[in-house]
Amino acid sequence: MILAAGRGERMGDLTINTPKPLLLFKGKPLIVWHIEKLVAAGFEEIIINVSYLSEKIKDYLGDGSKWNIKIIFSEENPVLETAGGIKKALPLLKSDPFIVINSDIYSDINYADLRELNFSECIEAHLIFVENPVHNKTGDFVLSQGGLVINEGENKKTFSGVALYRPIFFEEIPKNEFIRLSTVLKNKADKKLIKGKIFNGLWIDIGTPERLNSQVSL
């Protein structure tokens, strides 16, 4: 699943008429980089949640046939935020676990490698972390030596926006409600239900016009 429903307010005027996932980065819309990588990794179906300027995203991507992959849209009106959007899309997600990717990141994470992550019975999610960028110096979560994700402690790392989840992770979330993923992650981390690993390659959060323009240095 690719998350693509947000307004992208930090982008200012850039997203007045263009949804953030369609902003160009290194010559392609942000979301297309993810689609191409998922195709290369052997995936056959992508769920994309949409809300803000949804018709523009749907018109541009179509059914996915131009990339030889099936695209299914999960529409939100109003927008349900990250966790709420995933909850709404659960009936469309057919695998256990499934991958979720933020559309507004760029990285060289190999999505095929995610299939090889070992899920034990007691773990509901596996998050990919990166070293803290300048805009998130304090990080998000602590990773124990055994890979367990913990809320409190020193040397926090930044959640990359790429993760695998089991459907059970979202089981207790009410339907059609505005719920941030960060809230659910903190709750599940308290219950020791999340593992993670560090990715040391290229990763950038395209959250502002300045970071969008940083492509010239990549």
* Tens digit of each residue's pLDDT (9 = 90 or more) over 133-170: 999 999 999 999 999 999 999 999 999 999 999 999 99
What whole-number percentage of the chain has pLDDT above 90? 87
Whole-angstrom Cα distance, residue 183 to residue 176? 16
pTM of the model: 0.95
77 within 8 A of 5, measured Cβ to Cβ: no
Mean of pLDDT over the chain = 94
Hey, what amino acid is at 53?
A: L
Q: How confident is the model at residue 47 (pLDDT cuts 50, 70, 90)?
A: very high
- Residue 216 clears pLDDT 60, i.e. is over it: no
- Residue 184 clears pLDDT 50, i.e. is over it: yes
Q: What's the confidence (pLDDT) of residue 78?
A: 94
How far does the chain reach from its first CA to its final CA, in angstroms?
Answer: 26
Side-chain half-sphere exposure of 132, counting CA atoms within 13 A? 13
Q: How far is CA 68 from the centre of its chain?
A: 21
Scanning the structure block, which residue is given the tokens 């927008």? 79
Q: What's the confidence (pLDDT) of residue 201?
A: 95
Provide the residue count of the chain. 218
Whole-angstrom Cα distance, residue 87 to residue 181? 10
- Residue 6 clears pLDDT 50, i.e. is over it: yes
Q: How confident is the model at residue 90 (pLDDT cuts 50, 70, 90)?
A: very high
Structure tokens at 167: 């459907």
Structure tokens at 38: 């998922």
Q: What's the confidence (pLDDT) of residue 215?
A: 57
Q: What are phi and psi of 12, to 5 degrees?
A: 60, -135
156 within 8 A of 124, measured Cβ to Cβ: no
Q: How far is CA 176 from the centre of its chain?
A: 19
Hey, what amino acid is at 52?
A: Y
179 within 8 A of 89, measured Cβ to Cβ: no
Supply the DSSP string of 10-41, one letter for each residue: GGGGGGSSS-GGGSEETTEEHHHHHHHHHHHT
- Averaged pLDDT, 73-88: 97
